[in-house]
Structure 1
């Protein structure tokens, strides 16, 4: 989960977003959305959530 979060962070950095404006964290099994009791549920828990605050972003950069 930490690797997934870092990959998304790196994607935004590669697209020109200032690294100082991005935080990433992996929560692994500590914050599942659904119980990890099936293959389908495990897939649902492999996710990245992010919040953009206090920054003007160039939407074209993110949409590439």
Structure 2
């Protein structure tokens, strides 16, 4: 599985995912906040299935 998510994109995904999960756990937003697991996992793994589907990549050639 090749990586298609660049470093900055990964960092933003992990931060957004963690923020959503924490807000949902504290009850500040609804249960839908647990959808933050998706960007968290794609940021950690470095591969986004939607990017693959649409042929998008935010990786530089050095990161692949």
**TM-score (normalised: structure 1):** 0.32
Higher helix share: 2
**TM-score (normalised: structure 2):** 0.32
Q: Which has the higher contact order (CA 8 A, sep 6+)?
A: 2
Structure showing greater Rg: 1
